[in-house]
Structure 1
């Protein structure tokens, strides 16, 4: 190493770059969340220029080809579902880990007091209620729809959590390790929703956010994780600047 070389400049520069990347990525999601407030209310899109950011509220109306939720069997216009398995965390505390997750959306309309506004693309963020359709221990028999899902889908995971060695089974049973829960976040036809997005050339909405709750609650749920990223990025930048000073 050359004489007089100060490694604090390298470390400081690394922290500044890393913090900037983390903060920028997280801030982008916060900005999307704030679109719920930045958008203008619109009951119809007649005369609204393409590219305008609008907020449309009303009843979701699906098509004959609506999605079907795999665990509950309910028709949906937007859906996220997940299988979560109870395991030991790195701190040796039991928690649920997502082992399988999928999301999708169908074309649908939002029926406002004035007209039906078409939503033709999947929203980038869906903020709706979470429904734990089923939860059971590792040895329990699942409901028929869940059992069919597990036969048809190759779920990733480690057998040790579902079939532990005999000597460990009392511990697994006491901590409910290997238990699974089957979760759906659904928007069903007839639900009251708010869609925020940009008006397209054909007079539909390209959605950024779809939510079933007031604006404030939507922003809080979307932004709380990203705000932590912004704070972590800012802290890394501050550390880097101290090292560079």
Structure 2
């Protein structure tokens, strides 16, 4: 015994601590993501205090800044998230696509609502736009020129991984599972597209965006907080089990 506690109680205390950490971290992110439903829906910032959390929907228009060029499609974008996924074996030995490279960004733009034009002034923190699969490239295929150039110039993206290797005797099996195949996706808001912006009103009368989305508030919340909701459930279960063991 340690400090008068049995082995089972010590294990329960460790589970309580670990579960509490998971629970608090997940709850913090869920609360942050819930801004999309907590925000006040407005069409104009007239009379809205700086710092207020608002949700505006309208048409995205180019501001004074140049647009972003999407790396795979070449589309001119105001808001952009792109990702490279690679087909690998999961821990359960089932093939799935794993994100191996992802970036997001935006430029300041204007949002035309039914009542006003609002400046979206800062880079957005989260992009939950519907993704477009630009290309899927199997291991032995040559990617489109634009994608090939992107991979060549991006140091953070390995050109080959262990899933590209074909060991003697098992190569046909790996090929049949399409391991090493890569998918290239872009989620983007281009000029004249309808989007929803959630953010805080700035002193200058614009919006500092937390989220740019093309989904409903509830769908955006599920998209942002899905993993954390699972973390909440796991954390709560571990805390409950740890409490039972600790009380003994």
Structure 1: 5+ residue runs without aligned partners?
none
Alpha-carbon shift at residue 211 of structure 1 (Å): 1.0
Moved over 3 A (4+): 1-5, 157-160
Match of 1:172 in 2: 174
The Cα offsets for residues 44-95 of structure 1, whole Å up to 9 and x where unpaired, read as 2122111111111101112441111100101111111111111122222111
Q: Is the deviation greater in 20-29 or in 155-164?
A: 155-164
Q: Secondary structure at the match of 1:167?
A: coil
Is the counterpart of residue 183 in structure 1 residue 185 in structure 2?
A: yes
Match of 1:46 in 2: 46
Match of 2:111 in 1: 110
Alpha-carbon shift at residue 157 of structure 1 (Å): 6.5
Match of 2:220 in 1: 218
The Cα offsets for residues 20-66 of structure 1, whole Å up to 9 and x where unpaired, read as 22112212222233222221122221221111111111011124411
Does structure 2 conserve the Cα–Cα contact (< 8 Å) formed by 1:62 and 1:76?
no
Does structure 1 conserve the Cα–Cα contact (< 8 Å) formed by 2:12 and 2:243?
yes
Q: Is the deviation greater in 84-93 or in 139-148?
A: 84-93
Match of 2:80 in 1: 79
Alpha-carbon shift at residue 224 of structure 1 (Å): 2.1
Please give the residue correspondences for 1:219-238 in structure 2 after superposition, counting only pairs within 5 Å.
219-238=221-240
Match of 2:10 in 1: 10
Q: Aligned pair count?
A: 245
Q: Secondary structure at the match of 2:245?
A: helix
Alpha-carbon shift at residue 151 of structure 1 (Å): 1.6
Please tell me the root mean square deviation across aligned C-alpha atoms, in Å.
Answer: 1.9
Alpha-carbon shift at residue 162 of structure 1 (Å): 2.1
Q: Secondary structure at the match of 1:201?
A: coil
Query: Whole-Å Cα distance in 1 between the matches of residues 3 and 55 of structure 2?
Result: 61
Query: Whole-Å Cα distance in 1 between the matches of residues 102 and 40 of structure 2?
Result: 33
The Cα offsets for residues 100-139 of structure 1, whole Å up to 9 and x where unpaired, read as 1111111111111222111112222221101110002101
Structure 2: 5+ residue runs without aligned partners?
none
Query: Whole-Å Cα distance in 1 between the matches of residues 54 and 4 of structure 2?
Result: 58
Alpha-carbon shift at residue 229 of structure 1 (Å): 0.7
Call closer, same or farther: CA 1:131–1:244 in 2, change over 3 Å. Answer: same
Does structure 1 conserve the Cα–Cα contact (< 8 Å) formed by 2:87 and 2:178?
yes
